[in-house]
Amino acid sequence: MLSQPVNRPLPMRHFAEELPAAQPDGEPSTPVRAMTAAGEANRERILDAALARFARTGLSGTRIEAIAQDAGLSKTNLLYYFRSKNALYLAVLTRTLDMWLEPLRAIDADRDPREALGHYITAKLEAARDHPEASRLFALEVMQGAPMLSAVLATDLKELVDRKVALLQLWQAEGRLKPHKPHHLLFQIWATTQHYADFATQVEQLTGASLADPVFFQQTREAIVASILGAVLP
């Protein structure tokens, strides 16, 4: 059993770790002193190493010491920056969430549907190419029922998706998209683009190519755009 720790000033190294609704009121537990440049850099290196490891072997399959080694630190020192393995995992997850959501946010109501959706697909495929670990990490997490992210997903993601679904329905009402349950459109885009990141090893094994190859990338992009846009544009 943990004794509920009271509002003591939080050392800088743990400043960003607090859960969203951790402090009902009062001082936001201002850090005592700023982090050193070296400390800042260490934090980043740890997060990078952790992303790579977690994305490959999952939370329970990753040893905290392996991350520390990758980052060039001792296990104890890593634990100085992140109070626990779970805290580190959560930090990686939230840090990556924005990257995942951003392309969806960028779908613009003012643009032409064809162009907007084409851009979205391209952006998602670029994300799959440039940050496959991020994609894999989310996939792992969501597939396991999003035990750490369920709250965020149920609110932030849900709200964002609802907004974009409304936009798609508007476009449908205007006759600029075929009638179609909009969710399926989103799911198809997510599924196909992320597939090339999440199952990269399989894709490479079967085709001998990867998204890193520009030719293959273009080919993939066109295949996805053709099938998805072909089905929803009037």
Work out which of 7, 184, 218, 234 binds a second copy, going by CB under 8 A. Answer: 184
Instruction: Give the nearest distance from C-beta 89 to DNA in angstroms.
Output: 9
List, as one string, the DSSP characters of the chain: ------SPPPPGGGGGGS-TT--SSS-----SSPPPHHHHHHHHHHHHHHHHHHHHHTTTT--HHHHHHHHT--HHHHHHHSSSHHHHHHHHHHHHHHHHHHHHHT--TTS-HHHHHHHHHHHHHHHHHH-HHHHHHHHHHHHTT-TTTHHHIIIIIHHHHHHHHHHHHHHHHTTSS-S--HHHHHHHHHHHHHHHHHTHHHHHHHHS--TTSHHHHHHHHHHHHHHHHHHH--
Q: Cβ closer to DNA: 69 or 210?
A: 69
Of these partners, a second copy, DNA, none, which one is at the site of residue 141 (CB under 5 to 8 Å by kind)? none
56 binds DNA (CB under 7 A): no
163 binds a second copy (CB under 8 A): no
Q: Tokens standing for 86?
A: 């779970």
Distance CA 176, CA 229 (A): 12
111 binds a second copy (CB under 8 A): no
Of these partners, DNA, a second copy, none, which one is at the site of residue 187 (CB under 5 to 8 Å by kind)? a second copy
Work out which of 51, 85, 104, 221 binds DNA, going by CB under 7 A. Answer: 85
Instruction: Give the nearest distance from C-beta 144 to DNA in angstroms.
Output: 15
193 binds DNA (CB under 7 A): no
Of these partners, a second copy, DNA, none, which one is at the site of residue 7 (CB under 5 to 8 Å by kind)? none
Distance CA 80, CA 29 (A): 18
Distance CA 55, CA 173 (A): 41
Contact segment (CB under 8 A) with a second copy among 27-35, 119-127, 166-174, 224-232 equals: 224-232
195 binds a second copy (CB under 8 A): yes
Query: Comparing C-alpha atoms, which of 211, 41, 227, 65 is closest to residue 124?
Result: 211
Instruction: Give the nearest distance from C-beta 47 to a second copy in angstroms.
Output: 20
Instruction: Give the nearest distance from C-beta 89 to a second copy in angstroms.
Output: 12
Residues binding DNA (CB under 7 A): 11-13, 31-40, 42, 62-65, 73-77, 79-80, 83-86
Residues binding a second copy (CB under 8 A): 56-61, 136, 139-140, 142-146, 150, 153-154, 157-158, 161, 180-181, 183-185, 187-188, 190-192, 194-196, 198-199, 201-203, 205-207, 219-220, 223-224, 226-228, 230-232
